[in-house]
């Protein structure tokens, strides 16, 4: 069997197009465009790239982009004060504080300051809690993007066995909650799981969010499984070039799975597209408008 490649890039492009198409109706109803504020502290090179891409994508979707770049000497109090200012700014519908934050700054305390209605990353405990109890919530972008890819591929997720490898608050746990909401039977595996291969082998759906290059082997998979690889592991290749590898051994997994996301070009492009979607959803809710359809 040779698995179908799930084209996250194409899906993300479509989603971004649908968001951009819905922005004019918001602007007409409210007299302004939705606004996303991104806060970057320090010089982390990967974060700089992410923030630049987010800024560009926000403008392309017809939204306002408010960028705040602060030196890595910024104190926690200064950062909290900025978030409070953004909470009060009516032009700002979404606030994203780029992680990781410099040493000495407690990211939990900063995220707790974000107004939950503007928490487009879905990291605030109010949104995590709402997701857990089945209420409408702003949901973390990467797992929501994974769910969109799964729903696009599978007509129904109900009753399927889903195995999520990884239990971070950013990916693994919200992913498991989303799959549970779709009536999957969900198993969460992590670094203390004994016999990971056997657990992975139960999954009709396998979502890998581990951060270990090619940890999950094709031979572990149930034949026909749908595999979503969140992993983004940068490895030094020949000639100093960096290679991006997923958490799943793509070559062997492609022989067993029915569909799989490649790395790059799978989950990665979904994150920013969902961030724009979440910003428009947050903006609509703040303005008392119904959420745009088809997002």
Q: Say how far apart CA 196 and CA 188 lie, in whole Å.
A: 10
Window 87 to 146, contacts with ligand NDP (CB under 6 A): 142
Nearer to ligand NDP, 149 or 171 (CB): 171
User: How many angstroms separate the CA atoms of 275 and 211, rounded?
Assistant: 22
Give the active site residue among 93, 118, 119, 121. 121
- Cα 148 to chain center, whole Å? 11
Tokens 């595999």 correspond to: 227
What's the angle, vertex CA 235, arms to CA 73 and CA 240, rounded to 5? 90
Minimum gap (Å) between residue 98 Cβ and ligand NDP: 12
Which residue number is nearest to ligand NDP in terms of Cβ? 168
* Min separation Cβ 200 and ligand NDP, Å: 9
Among 165, 175, 221, 228, binds ligand NDP (CB under 6 A): 165
Contact between 232 and ligand NDP by CB under 6 A: the answer reads yes
Strands 226-229 and 205-208: parallel
CB of 73 to ligand NDP, least distance (A): 26
Q: What is the DSSP letter of 201?
A: T
Of the pair 47, 168, the CB lying nearest ligand NDP is at 168
Q: Is 212 in the site for ligand NDP (CB under 6 A)?
A: yes
- Is 106 one of the catalytic residues? no
Residue 99 has phi, psi (to 5 degrees) of -100, 155
| Residue among 254 and 271 whose Cβ is closer to ligand NDP | 271
Residues 6+ away with beta carbon under 8 Å from 287: 26, 29, 30
Q: Which of 215, 178, 186 is nearest to 202 (CA)?
A: 186
190: nearest Cα among 169, 219, 204: 169
Q: Are strands 233-236 and 242-245 parallel, antiparallel or unpaired?
A: antiparallel
Q: Of these, 16, 18, 167, 277, which contacts ligand NDP (CB under 6 A)?
A: 167
- Dist CA 58 CA 67 (whole Å): 11
- Minimum gap (Å) between residue 210 Cβ and ligand NDP: 4
| Nearer residue to ligand NDP within complex by CB, 6 or 209 | 209
User: 28 an active-site residue?
Assistant: no
* Residue among 62, 231, 262, 292 that touches ligand NDP (CB under 6 A): 231
By beta-carbon proximity to ligand NDP, the closer residue of 232 and 282 is 232
Least separation in angstroms between residue 213's CB and ligand NDP is 8
Rounded Cα distance between 68 and 74, Å, is 12
Verify binding: residue 187, ligand NDP, rule CB under 6 A: no
Let me know if 108 is a catalytic residue: no
Residue written as token pair 């799930």? 6
Residues that are catalytic:
54, 98, 121
Q: Which residues bind ligand NDP (CB under 6 A)?
A: 142, 165-168, 170-172, 189-193, 196, 209-212, 215, 230-233, 267-268, 271
């Amino acid at each position: 069997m040779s698995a179908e490649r799930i084209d996250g890039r194409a899906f993300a492009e479509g989603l971004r197009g649908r968001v951009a198409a819905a922005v004019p109706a918001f602007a007409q109803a409210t007299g302004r465009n939705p606004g996303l504020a991104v806060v970057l502290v320090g010089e982390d090179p990967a974060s700089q790239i992410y923030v630049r891409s987010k800024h560009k994508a926000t403008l392309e979707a017809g939204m306002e982009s408010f960028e705040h770049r602060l030196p890595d000497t910024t104190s926690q109090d200064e950062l909290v004060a900025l978030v409070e200012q953004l909470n009060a700014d009516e032009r700002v519908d979404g606030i994203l504080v780029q992680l990781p934050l410099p040493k000495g700054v407690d990211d939990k305390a900063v995220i707790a300051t974000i107004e939950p209605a503007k928490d487009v990353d879905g990291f605030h405990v109010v949104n995590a809690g709402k997701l857990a109890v089945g209420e409408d919530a702003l949901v973390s972008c990467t797992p929501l993007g994974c769910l969109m890819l799964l729903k696009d591929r599978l007509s129904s997720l109900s009753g399927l066995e889903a195995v999520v490898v990884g239990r971070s608050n950013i990916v693994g746990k919200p992913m498991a909650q989303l799959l549970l909401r779709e009536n999957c039977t969900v198993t969460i595996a992590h670094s203390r799981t004994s016999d990971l291969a056997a657990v992975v082998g139960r999954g009709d759906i396998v979502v890998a969010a581990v951060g270990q290059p090619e940890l999950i082997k094709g031979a572990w998979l149930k034949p026909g499984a749908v595999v979503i690889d969140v992993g983004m592991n940068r490895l030094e290749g020949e000639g100093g070039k960096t290679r991006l590898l997923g958490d799943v051994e793509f070559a062997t997994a492609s022989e067993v799975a029915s569909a799989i996301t490649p790395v790059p070009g799978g989950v990665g492009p979904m994150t920013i597209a969902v961030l724009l979607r979440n910003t428009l959803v947050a903006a609509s809710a703040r303005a008392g408008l119904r959420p745009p359809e088809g997002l």
